[in-house]
A and B are shown apart, each in its own frame.
Chain A
Amino acid sequence: MGMETEFLSEENGISLVVLGGISFMFLVGMLLLLFFYFSKKKIVQKELEKKNLELTHQKNLLEATLETQEKERQRIARDLHDDISSKLNMVSLHSDLLLTGNLAESEQKEALETILSLSGKALENSRHIAHDLFPPVLEKFGLDAAIEELCSEFSGHGTQISYHNQSLFDETQKSKNLHVFRILQELIHNSIKHGSASHIQLHIEDRKDKKYFHYQDNGKGFQIEDKQNHKGLGMKNIDSRIQFLQGSLFIHSELGKGTTVIFTF
C-alpha cells in the first residue's frame, strides 16, 4: 500500500512537470507572438511617420516652387513695364508729336532720333528679358558654354569667377542641364548679392559615375545653423532642383569665411 502511494505521488510529480512544461511553452509562444505583434505595430507606425515627414517636405518644396514662380512672374511683369512699356510709351508720344506737325526740321530730327534710340533700347531690353528667362546659349551650344557665359556675365564689377570643367554633359538631357544652370545661377547670384564675394571658383568633374560640382566663394558666409538661411526661397529652390536631379547637396559656411557648396548627381 505504501509503495503504491509513493509511486502515485511520483507519477503526479512527473505529470505536474509535463503539464507545467506545456503551459510554460504555451505562455512563451504567446509572449513571442505578442512581441512580434507589437514590433510590427511599432515598425508600421515608424514607417508612417517617415512617410508623413517626406510628404511635408515635398509639400514645402512645392509651395516654394509655386512661390518662386509667382515672384518670377512679378519680376517679368515689372521688367516688361519698366524697360519696354515705358520706352514704347515715349516712342508713341514722339510719333504723335511728329504727326501733328508744326515742328521745325531740327525738332523733327531730334524726335526721330529719340524714337530710334528708344526703340533700340526697348529691343535690347526685350532681348535681355528673353535671355534671362531662358539663355539661348544653353539651347544652342550646351551647358558648358552656358555656364561659361554665365560666369563671364557676372564677372567684372569687382567679382572674378574662375570656371574649370573636366566633365562632359549629356546634352540630350535638357531639363537636367537647365536645373544645373539654374542652381549655379542662384549660387552666383547669392554670392554676389548677399555675400559680396570678390572671388568665386567653380570646378566640375566626374567621380564614381557622378557629376561632382565644387563651388566656393570668399564672401561673408553665413551660419549654417541659422534657419533663416535655409528658409530662403533661393535655398529651397536649389534644394528642390537637387531633388529633381536625384542628387545630394552639401553646404558649408562660416561667418567671414565664405561659402562652399558641393553637389553631385
Chain B
Amino acid sequence: MLYYIGQFLLLVNVVLYGARLSGKGKAYRFFWSYLLAIFCLQLVMKAYSSQSINNHFLSTYYLFLQFGLLSAFFYDLFVPIKRKISRLVSYLSLAVVLGLLIQYLIHPEQYYTFNSLGFLVTTVVLITYTVLYLYEMLSQKLPFYVVCIGLFIYLISSSLIFVSATSLIALNNKINTLIWDINALLFMVYQLLILWEWKQSFFQKKTG
C-alpha cells in the first residue's frame, strides 16, 4: 500500500516538475530526469516482481542512474556557489562511477545481484553532497533546499536497508516486509517533500 502511495506521489512529481521544465536551469532538468528514471525503473521492477521474475539486475540501473543523475544535479547546483566544490563533485563522482565499472568488469556476475557495496559507496557520496549543500545553505538562500533535506533524510535512513538488502532476504517474510515498508514510508516522505518544494518554489512562478 505504502509503495503505491509513494509511486503515485513520484508520478505526480514527475508530471508537475515536467510541466515547468521550460526555462529552467540544468540542475532542474537533471532532477526531473532523475525523478522520471526512478519512476520508470520502479515500475519495471514491480512488473517483474509481480510476474515473479528476478528483478535484481534492474538494481544495477537504479544504482547508476540515481548516482549519475543526482551527481549531475549537485554539480550544477554547486557551480554558481563554489567552483571548488563543483569540481570536487565532478571528480569524486567520476571516480566512483569508474570504480563501479571496474567492479562490474572484474565480477560480471554482480550485474545479476544486488550490489550492496555499490549502494553503500554511492549513498555515502550522495549524503556528503547533501551535507555540503546544507552547509552552504547556512549563509545564503539556495534553491532546492527542501529537496535536499528530503534526500538527506531518505538516503541516511534507507542506506542501511539498501546496504543490508542481500542479507535481509534471508530473514523471514514478515520482518522483510516490515523493513521494506519502512523504506516505502521513507520514500513517501521524501516524495512529499519534493512535492512541497515544487509548491514552494515553482508553483506560483509561472506568471513571473
B134 at the interface (CB under 8 A from A): yes
State A32–B156 Cα separation when bound (angstroms).
Answer: 11
Given contacts A22-B179, A33-B152, A40-B138, is CB(A14)–CB(B171) below 8 Å?
Answer: yes
Does the CB pair A25–B175 fall under 8 Å? no
Which residues B172-208 have CB closer than 8 A to chain A?
Answer: 172, 175, 178-179, 182, 186
Does the CB pair A18–B153 fall under 8 Å? no
Write the chain B residue with the least CB distance to A41. Answer: B138
B54 at the interface (CB under 8 A from A): no
B177 to chain A, nearest CB (A): 11
Does the CB pair B172–A8 fall under 8 Å? yes
Interface bits A241-254 vs B (CB < 8 Å: 1, else 0) = 00000000000000
Collect the chain A residues with CB atoms within 8 Å of residue B159's CB: 25
Does the CB pair B171–A26 fall under 8 Å? no
Question: By DSSP majority rule, is chain B's interface helix, strand, loop, or mixed?
Answer: helix
Collect the chain A residues with CB atoms within 8 Å of residue B102's CB: none
Collect the chain B residues with CB atoms within 8 Å of residue A28's CB: 156
Query: Among the listed stretches B25-33, B35-43, B55-63, B161-169, which one makes contact with chain A, having 4 or more residues with CB under 8 Å of it?
Result: B161-169
B158 to chain A, nearest CB (A): 8
Q: How large is the interface on A (under 10, 10 to 19, 20 to 34, 35 or more residues)?
A: 20 to 34
B120 at the interface (CB under 8 A from A): no
Which residues B114-172 have CB closer than 8 A to chain A?
Answer: 131, 134-135, 137-139, 149, 152-153, 156-161, 164, 167-168, 170-172
Write the chain B residue with the least CB distance to A23. Answer: B157
A120 at the interface (CB under 8 A from B): no
Collect the chain B residues with CB atoms within 8 Å of residue A25's CB: 156-157, 159-160
Does the CB pair A22–B157 fall under 8 Å? yes
Which residues A37-88 have CB closer than 8 A to chain B?
Answer: 39-40, 43
Write the chain B residue with the least CB distance to A15. Answer: B175
Does the CB pair A29–B152 fall under 8 Å? yes
Does the CB pair B153–A29 fall under 8 Å? yes
A255 to chain B, nearest CB (A): 45
Task: Select the residue from B139, B157, B164, B175 with max chain A CB neighbours within 10 A.
Answer: B157
Collect the chain A residues with CB atoms within 8 Å of residue B182's CB: 19, 22
Collect the chain B residues with CB atoms within 8 Å of residue A14's CB: 167, 171
Question: B interface vs A, CB < 8 Å?
Answer: 131, 134-135, 137-139, 149, 152-153, 156-161, 164, 167-168, 170-172, 175, 178-179, 182, 186
Nearest 3 CB-CB pairings of A with B: A29-B156, A15-B175, A26-B157
Besides the contacts A26-B156, A33-B153, what 14 more A-B pairs have beta carbons closer than 8 Å? A11-B170, A11-B171, A11-B172, A12-B175, A14-B167, A21-B160, A21-B164, A22-B157, A22-B179, A25-B160, A26-B153, A33-B134, A33-B149, A36-B135
